[in-house]
Structure 1
Amino acid sequence: MDIQAVGAALIRPGQLLTDRGALSAAARWTQAVSEADGVFRIRLTPGVDPCEIAMRLREEGHRAGPNHVLTGQPLWFGGPASRPFPAAPLAAPSGRDGPQVRVAVVDTGIAAHPWWAKSDWYGRLGPEAADRPDGDGDGALEAQAGHGTFIAGLIQRRAPSAAFQVARVLGADGVGDEAGLLRALHRLRADPPQVLNLSLGCHTFDDQPSRLVADAVGSLESTVTVACAGNTASDRPFWPAALPSVVGVGALDAAQEHRAPFSAHGPWVDAWARGEWLTSTFLEFGEFEGFASWSGTSFAAALVSGAFAASPAVRDVADLPDSRQIPGLGVVVHST
């Protein structure tokens, strides 16, 4: 799909996302409308600016916005360790017979792996949830293939009995959009997880949150939602991590004492965890034999999701076991 840069944000050109109530107000600019899982995507008539129309509809009290492009976050252009590296195998975590905590991983999908090959939750997944190594069929590993699989391993190392609900909203290139995220969040309402990991996000064209995403996350009232702060090295709000209802997670260096240089930061970041040179489950493809080392706020977020999954009664990040404070940053969730 096409991508258009608007200021320092990325959108799908000619697309507007709304709820049902805004359809009639947007009719004069509408060429076509599609609906899936409660999300209305308007194809605007040629030449119409979706950001301008979104602002006009908001002034009339409607929920509307352009279809922002989302990216997984080790995707930091020119950043360190922006690709995975093969790693030695890790022993599967013990203690998987404990009470199951359901964790939703909304990402690139999850691939088959010996750690969970015989688990009930993996047996229930369909092909639409698979993490695909070669999305374009050129024989090369895609830039963010294995991203969701890596995240699942990090969570399971901290919470061995975690059972995953999986939604693939990012391609193997690490790119998706707000419409896909909204559809996935809508489907989760039927069976809400205890923890939701969103290692993805975007800047918005006006630096304001999407009301559609905020309301979709808010509808999962019993779920702790964790999102990565982004690998932007700036304090510009990154969504959905900057939402008040979401635990936004920045990345620390390998020593867990300082902010990783690539990590976003600012008062909207709620927690910090190691984001440099983590090792976890990965694909079996080419030089990779099921494990990799990788860096990014994506993986710091997964560590915090794992901590919540290991302590399902906790809802405030400051109450997690082994959490501490780093002056000038905030709450740190220790990596075990």
Structure 2
Amino acid sequence: MAGDWKIGSDRRRRTTDQLRDFRAANRGQVAWDTEAPADFTYIYHPDRVLVRAADADAFDRAVAELDRGILAEAPLRDDVRLLDGELVRYVLGERAGGESVPDVLDLLEAGGLPRGAASPDHWVHVSPGGGGGQLCPAIEPQETGLQEPWPPAAPAREKSSRVSVVVVDTGWNPASAADPRTPWLHGVDGDDELNGPELRPYAGHGTFVAGVVRCAAPDTDVFVEGFAVGGVGGGGVLESDLVVQLEEALAHDPRVINLSAGCRTRLDLPSIALETFHRTRLRRHDTVLVAAAGNDATSAPFWPAAFDWCVGVGSLDRDGRVSEYSNFGVSADVYALGRNHVNAFPEGTSVCHESPDKGDVRRFDTAMARWSGTSFAAPLVAGLIAREIAESGSSARDARDAVLARAAYESDPGVGPVMVLHEPWA
């Protein structure tokens, strides 16, 4: 990474800042697939490999046939049982030639291991991107003098039933549930984000997302399942750990799960961990997963939004056009407002970590912030699905279909045909 300080683009500086901070937050257990961090496509654990249980024997055989000069010792099977053993995690030992996990997988596949049978353990981050993209929401949170959320809170319906929604995110700010300035969050609960006067990077992300859900669907019981609380993880989580959090989310019997996070993967193959979670867990429940499409302005698949069983949500500006930063294509089933949301945010001081605002100090003292990204388009759609369930009594999947049926097909130059959900702010 020598010479990175010479990068002449705010976007590239921003990505480099993000990856360096992210690696530091995770004690160096972060690698990426390019020499220059600003060009990364995906990020992963430098020593872990994920394999479906059904492919574990084939993986072991392929490793046994690999040149011993590459792997002096066979990979160790992690003793953590993931998804009741349906997902196996291996730890690679030292590689004599310095081969990366993707290098080893390339060699195994060249020797006959089916492509996609094994995968790096990718890092999933709050609405990340790749290919010179972003590891975070489209911007860092901004102060606002506004006292009401935007989009505004929808009125509660007398005949609506309560609907459970779980937000799997960075954690929850308990003070927001009792603050008279954010009454739409009263009754929300979750894993304490453990904020202090100096807010950590990505603090408030889960709280803000929960606020968007509650504004769209007042008749919801919202729980924020935290995957990066107390300053751990830098706003990210490994795939193998995320599926554990998603499994815990299902214990709340949610009708809707919102995940404003995702990742690119090696060779853009479907995430083994998330596919296994769906196959062995999610599809057994009447639960819809809604996920952010990502903020890298690319049509490359972004997981889990790109799965056909997930509702991937891209971002619109207030004029109804697709946001400049929004991913599109297979990762965005529908687009909703993602630009300049205003919602609940912890009070405290935040120091910007990313170019061009690096070092700027922002003081949040109104219990609110302004924020943009597909991270916030997703919970708007999640809330609309939950509201449809509450008002119609339908199944989660039927409610999803009803909400998407209200979207209009439009054309956006540079993006193409898109399905745009203009309500409820039109």
TM-score, normalising length: structure 2? 0.68
Deviations 1:160-215 (A, max 9, x none): 12112332224553222211211112234445411111100111011011133123
- How many Å apart are 1:79 and its aligned residue? 9.4
1:265-323 deviation digits (Å, cap 9, x = unpaired)? 11442000011100111112233232111000000011110110101236365621853
Q: Does 1:243 align with 2:307?
A: yes
Kindly indicate whether residue 78 of structure 2 is the aligned counterpart of residue 33 of structure 1: yes
Moved more, 17-26 or 1-10: 17-26
Tell me the distance in 1 between the aligned counterparts of 2:250 and 2:137: 37
CA RMSD across the alignment: 3.0
- For structure 1, the residue ranges without an aligned partner over 5 or more in a row are none
Say if 1:234 and 1:263, in contact at 8 Å, map to a contact too: yes
Select which of 407, 418, 421 maps to 1:323.
407
Following TM superposition, by how much is the alpha carbon of 1:118 offset from its aligned partner in structure 2, in angstroms?
A: 5.5
Question: In structure 2, what is the Cα distance between the partners aligned to 1:252 and 1:282?
Answer: 22
Larger fraction in helix: 2
Deviations 1:31-76 (A, max 9, x none): 4513155354322111264335556489359853211011112786
The alignment status of 1:184 with 2:245, answered yes or no, reads: yes
3-state SS of 1:215 partner: helix
Q: Secondary structure at the match of 1:227?
A: strand
**Range 319-328 or range 66-75, more displaced:** 319-328
Structure 2 stretches of 5 or more lacking a match? Answer: 1-25, 35-40, 65-73, 350-362
Work out which of the residue numbers 38, 44, 58 in structure 2 matches 1:11: 44
| Aligned residue runs from structure 1 range 89-168, under 5 A | 89-90=147-148, 94-95=155-156, 98-112=160-174, 113=176, 114=178, 115=183, 119=187, 122=189, 125=190, 129-133=191-195, 140-168=198-226
Query: Kindly tell me: are residues 62 and 242 of structure 1, through their superposed partners in 2, closer, same or farther at Cα, counting changes over 3 Å?
Result: closer
Report the secondary structure of 2:80's partner residue.
strand
Deviates further, 83-92 or 237-246: 83-92
State the 1:216 CA deviation: 0.8
CA distance in 2, matches of 1:133, 1:329: 42
Q: Choose the corresponding residue for 2:325, options 262, 266, 269.
A: 262
Residue type matched to 1:300 in 2?
A
Percent identity of equivalent pairs: 29
Whole-angstrom CA distance in 2 between matches of 1:142 and 1:325: 40
Partners of 1:18 and 1:65 within 8 A in 2:
yes
TM-score, normalising length from structure 1?
0.85
SS at match of 2:269: coil
C-alpha separation in 2, matches of 1:151 and 1:19? 32
Query: Greater shift after overlay, 317-326 or 229-238?
Result: 317-326
Provide closer, same or farther for how the CA distance between residues 78 and 11 of structure 1 changes in structure 2, counting only shifts above 3 A: closer
Greater per-residue strand proportion = 1
Q: Secondary structure at the match of 1:185?
A: helix
Give yes or no for contact 1:106–1:198 (8 Å, CA) kept in 2: yes
Q: Is 1:70 aligned with 2:124?
A: yes
Contact 1:103-1:196 at 8 Å conserved across structures: yes
Structure number with larger C-alpha Rg:
2
